[in-house]
Amino acid sequence: MQLIDGSKIITEACVRAGADVYVGYPITPSNWFYAYAQKRFPLFLAGPDEISVLQWMAGFSAAGRLPVTATSFPGLALMVESLNMAHMMELPMLIIVTQRLGPSTGSATTGAQGDLLLLRGAISGGYQIPVFCPSSFEDCWNLAYEAVKTAVNYRTPVVLLTSKEMVMTYRSFDLSGLPEIKKVENAEPEVALPYQSYRAGADGVPPFIPLGDESYQVRLNASTHGRAGLIQKESPEAMANTRRLQDKLEGNISEFTFFELDEEDGAGQLIVSYGISADAARDALAGLRRQGKKVSLLIIKTLLPVPPAILSILERYEKQVFVEENLPGLLRELIYGQARRAHIRSVNKIGSMIAPSEIIKEFAV
């Protein structure tokens, strides 16, 4: 066992997975990433603002590098247009978002889970980018790797959604149990000639060749474009390309569906949680079972696109309690919308972490 923090584990995992450039603008509570990245990434650059950060990253990615940044809501807000660009250009990159209490500047040193629906709606048109959410130090390691892998394999920006309590709390942890991470290689692409930057294979993913290639002309484009990467307006080819952006991720979702399910035989009640609230849910589950209650626990780690596998687990439970550190219940809204359902309940809070006792209370009657 040694005392370690989540920022360090994530940073190390990213580099081992092959991320080679960190572009950052410091922001609490993502500063530890910045500090670790300065030591660990092959190339570290300090951007002057978060718009520049994401643009530089897009440039690095387009040139064949694998860039990472870490930010928090105020920085993420500035990045949204560039995130759209990276999504449209299909550029691999990783954005770590450490949630903190909002709205607005809020409280920089207080954790929260308030940015899920911003990410859900970040891409104009409602397209989804993969959002992974670690709920333990094992997840910090494994999901950082999966995030890099998903970014490369599906040519897409990926968000690792964390919270202050996950990345700025030290815990005793046995690192020797972590699996080895192998560098994610961008497999030698099978290129159909003539090469076109957006001609996709059967999996919906166009082989990625970076700018500056000696043999193939590369054209990347943030505007509506056809297979060749040139602007086309509403041509069927361009619309098919835009539609592919959705199919590419939703069609391959089973390849990056991550969750933890602790199911109790005969349980009709399910606690649903993610990220920093998951630990309270784990403790609450143990407490409820000690009381003889039959309860299961689902911790969702692939938040977006919402995996069908998650939806089928939810369908099996009569009563569901969503536990998340925000007031409106963003995960619940993501899945069930704003309509009230008697059996879908929420434990919500802002300003401090939800305690196990607050979850247990929800099962008192």
Partner 1 sequence: MTQPILVTKDMPFCPGCGHGVAVKNLAKALEEAGFRPLDVIIVSDIGCAGLVDPILATHTIHGLHGRAPALALGVSLGLSNPGKKVVAIQGDGGATIGLQHLLEAARRNVDMVLIVLNNLLYGMTGGQMSGLSTQAFKAEKHVDDDTPPFDIVRLAHEAGAAGSARISAPGEFKAYFQEALATPGFSLIEVACLCPSHGVKKLKELAEVIPGDLKLSRQRPPARASYRDTGPLFEKGGPLPAPYSSCIRERLGIVIAGSAGGGVQSVARLVANAGIRSGLHATMKGEYPITVGTGFSLAEVILSRNRIHYTGLEAPDVIVAVTEDGMAKARSRVKPNTALVLDSALRDAAFPDALYGNFHKEAGKQGAALAAAASWLIREGLLEREALLEAARGHQHGEALMEVIEKAAGMVRGLPV
Question: Closest distance between partner 1 and the C-beta of residue 124, in Å?
Answer: 12
Contacting residue, 4, 191, 309, 335, with partner 1 by CB under 8 A: 4
Q: Distance between CA 37 and CA 43 in Å, rounded?
A: 9
Interface positions, 105-144, toward partner 1 (CB under 8 A):
108-109
Question: Closest distance between partner 1 and the C-beta of residue 98, in Å?
Answer: 14
Q: Kind of pairing, strands 93-101 and 107-111?
A: antiparallel
**Is residue 220 a contact point for partner 1 (CB under 8 A)?**
yes
CB 17 within 8 A of CB 48: no
Task: Please identify, using beta-carbon distances, which residue of 71 and 221 lies nearer to partner 1.
Answer: 221
CB 54 within 8 A of CB 83: yes
Task: Please identify, using beta-carbon distances, which residue of 50 and 115 lies nearer to partner 1.
Answer: 50
Interface positions, 22-61, toward partner 1 (CB under 8 A):
23, 28, 36, 39-43, 45, 48-49, 51-52, 55-61
**Is residue 89 a contact point for partner 1 (CB under 8 A)?**
yes
Provide CB contacts within 8 A for 234, sequence distance 6+.
224
**Is residue 12 a contact point for partner 1 (CB under 8 A)?**
yes
CB under 8 A: which stretch of 119-127, 144-152, 327-335, 353-361 binds partner 1? Answer: 353-361
CB under 8 A: which stretch of 18-26, 148-156, 255-263, 334-342 binds partner 1? Answer: 18-26
**Is residue 70 a contact point for partner 1 (CB under 8 A)?**
no
Task: Please identify, using beta-carbon distances, which residue of 212 and 266 lies nearer to partner 1.
Answer: 212
Interface positions, 167-186, toward partner 1 (CB under 8 A):
168-172, 174-176, 178
Q: Among positive and negative, which fits the CA dihedral 150, 78, 117, 99?
A: positive
Q: Distance between CA 27 and CA 54 in Å, rounded?
A: 15
Question: Closest distance between partner 1 and the C-beta of residue 330, in Å?
Answer: 20
With 0-12 CB in 10 A as exposed, 13-18 as middle and 19+ as buried, what is 347?
buried
- How many residues would you count in the chain? 365
Task: Please identify, using beta-carbon distances, which residue of 209 and 309 lies nearer to partner 1.
Answer: 209
**Is residue 191 a contact point for partner 1 (CB under 8 A)?**
no
CB 346 within 8 A of CB 321: yes
Interface positions, 255-294, toward partner 1 (CB under 8 A):
279-280, 282-283
Contacting residue, 17, 19, 27, 62, with partner 1 by CB under 8 A: 62
Q: Distance between CA 269 and CA 101 in Å, rounded?
A: 30
Q: For residue 51, give the 3-state DSSP assignment.
A: helix
- The β-bridge partners of 2 are 173
Contacting residue, 187, 192, 231, 261, with partner 1 by CB under 8 A: 231
Contacting residue, 104, 215, 312, 338, with partner 1 by CB under 8 A: 215
DSSP string, 77-98: HHHHHHHHHHHHHT--EEEEEE
Among 59, 67, 61, 123, CA closest to 94:
67
